């Protein structure tokens, strides 16, 4: 199934498609290593928010055009356009939109994921990388630090010491190191990257969508709540899922030895 309706993107540098309940968002400015302008940021926010409300989307893949770069972060040459640091602080940020996405999202990391590009990948639920990927938090080299969740996400993903190494040196790590530290889930050859990410997204999209979205919500809570509260919250979410029509369909399909047909109800 292909969805003919799409969000109205205007920058010309963000691609979007939906096939079989999987939306693919492509940062498409390869000549500038897919660095993000404010117009592109607005489009990314619009695309992600559209996915949040579209019944035709159950999982999302986010990638960059070309093989050189997933995303090199914000276009640094445009940062001086903000009148004050406070205006910069209050800008509409695409990472915030990705973090707020209720549906599972997979980053297909091809090439550089630097600065805001790394934050973009960290904002996703699952990260799959090309064997040629390079990841870095280089902001310290320019006199600032990341502001889209960089420190929190890195500390949760790779531990305090490894996070400190990346944040305080600004130096890049290669794909093998990212895999060893748990920053990405798996590595694939560059030519197989998008297909693998779409395959994982398609698997997730085949699951009961309320349960998939609830699993995402529950996982985030597990990182932020004390264990006894996290377990109680999980039990409440399980009860809510159990009361859905999709859960009833899942039990019927199991008993009848057939695939379930889920309606997000």
Six-digit token string for 179: 């895999």
Burial class (CB in 10 A: 0-12, 13-18, 19+), 218: middle
The catalytic residue among 49, 67, 139, 249 is: 139
HEC string of 189-219 equals CHHHHHHHHHHHHHHHHCCCHHHHHHHHHHH
The helices-and-strands tally (H runs, E runs) of the chain is 11, 10
Q: Rounded to an integer, what distance in angstroms lies between the CA atom of residue 55 and that of residue 100?
A: 17
Q: For residues 114 and 138, is the Cβ–Cβ distance under 8 A?
A: yes
Catalytic residue among 119, 191, 213, 245: 119
Eight-class DSSP state of 2: B
Annotated catalytic, 139?
yes
**Of 117, 122, 100, residue with least CA distance to 47:** 100
Q: Please state whether 242 falls in left (phi above 0), alpha (psi between -120 and 50) or beta.
A: alpha
Q: What positions carry a catalytic annotation?
A: 119, 139
């Amino acid at each position: 199934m292909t969805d003919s309706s799409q969000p109205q993107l205007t920058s010309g540098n963000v691609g979007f498609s939906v096939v079989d309940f999987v939306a693919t968002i492509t940062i498409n400015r390869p000549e500038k290593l897919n660095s993000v302008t404010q117009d592109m940021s607005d489009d990314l926010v619009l695309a992600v928010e559209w996915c949040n409300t579209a019944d035709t989307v159950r999982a999302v893949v986010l990638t960059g055009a070309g093989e050189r770069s997933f995303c090199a972060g914000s276009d640094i040459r445009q940062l001086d356009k903000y009148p004050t640091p406070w205006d910069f602080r209050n800008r509409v940020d695409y990472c915030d939109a990705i973090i707020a996405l209720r549906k599972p999202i997979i980053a297909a990391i091809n090439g550089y994921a630097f600065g805001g590009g790394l934050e973009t990948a960290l904002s996703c639920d699952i990260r799959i990388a090309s064997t040629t990927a390079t990841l870095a938090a280089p902001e310290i080299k320019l006199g600032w630090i990341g502001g889209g969740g960089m420190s929190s996400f890195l500390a949760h993903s790779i531990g305090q010491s490894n996070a400190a190494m990346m944040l305080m040196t600004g130096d890049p790590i290669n794909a093998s190191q990212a895999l060893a530290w748990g920053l990405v889930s798996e590595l694939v050859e560059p030519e197989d990257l998008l297909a693998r990410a779409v395959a994982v997204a398609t698997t997730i999209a085949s699951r009961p969508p309320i349960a998939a979205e609830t699993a995402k919500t529950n996982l985030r809570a597990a990182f932020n709540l004390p264990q006894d509260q996290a377990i109680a919250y999980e039990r409440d979410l399980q009860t809510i899922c159990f009361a859905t029509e999709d859960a009833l369909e899942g039990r019927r399909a199991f008993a009848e030895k057939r695939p379930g047909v889920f309606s997000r109800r």
